[in-house]
Structure 1
């Protein structure tokens, strides 16, 4: 699989998804965007959330709902055809290497790093702030999978040069306490 092509496809789909979410829900205060995958590396999907949705969050769990893409309102809702094409390609590639665990580990790592690179590229181009006029919280996550705490911290620092980074890292410091 040519990951340079996949990277271009993910970037195009991410741009389109964010623009569509913002067009439909920008008045709600879009503050976040994520790409996420699954442990089997079969999917890449977008997610976004708004400040309006967060107004109703329970105070005790507010940070969890603010920063956990699986809880965001606008999950897998835009650029459906583009993301479906990416997911189909991933599944087809996985079928070719069904019982090769070593190959899979490299494939999974490359897919995850590609998604992170796309988010970082869009951040560095000021894609999100250029549209919203505000900082946007960015994250890559994997459903049913936990990153090592250090890796997650590094990811948050890499993707966020804003107040969200500090709040997220302070929240992380409370985990397990």
Structure 2
């Protein structure tokens, strides 16, 4: 698989998804955007959330709902055809190497890093800020899996130069408590 081509496809799909969600739900104050995959590296999906959706969040768990893409209102919304095509390509590639664990580990790592690079590129180009007029919280995550705490911390710092970074890192510091 040519990951440079895949990277461009993911970037185009991410932009399209965000624009579609913003067009439909911009008045709800979108504050976050994520790309996420799964442990099997078979998917790449977008997610977004709004401040309006957060109005109903339980106060005790507000930060969880604010920062966990699986809980966001607009999960798997936007650029459906584009993301479906990306997922089909991933599955085709995975089936070619069905029993090769070493190959899979490299493939999975490259897919995850590609998604993170796309988010970082869009952040550095001010893609989200130019559309919304404000900073957006960005994250990459893997459903049914957790990053090592240090890796997640590094990811949050890499993708966020905004108020969300400090709040997220403070929240992380309380996870063990």
Aligned to 1:117: 117
CA drift of 1:77 comes to 1.3
CA drift of 1:140 comes to 0.1
Aligned to 1:171: 171
1:125-151 CA distances to partner (integer Å, 9 max, x unpaired)? 000000000000000000000100000
Alpha-carbon separation, structure 2, partners of 1:120 and 1:42: 22
Unaligned runs of 5+ in 1: none
CA drift of 1:176 comes to 1.6
1:87 aligns with 2:87: yes
Aligned to 2:38: 38
1:143-173 CA distances to partner (integer Å, 9 max, x unpaired)? 0001000000000000000000000000000
Cα RMSD after superposing both structures: 0.3
Count residues with an aligned counterpart.
177
- Where in structure 2 are the equivalents of 1:135-174 lying within 5 Å? 135-174=135-174
Alpha-carbon separation, structure 2, partners of 1:118 and 1:65: 24
The DSSP-based 3-state class of the residue aligned with 1:142 is: strand
Alpha-carbon separation, structure 2, partners of 1:52 and 1:174: 26
Unaligned runs of 5+ in 2: none
Alpha-carbon separation, structure 2, partners of 1:45 and 1:22: 16
TM-score (norm 1): 1.00
The DSSP-based 3-state class of the residue aligned with 1:77 is: coil
Aligned to 2:27: 27
Alpha-carbon separation, structure 1, partners of 2:107 and 2:59: 39
Alpha-carbon separation, structure 2, partners of 1:117 and 1:123: 10
TM-score (norm 2): 1.00
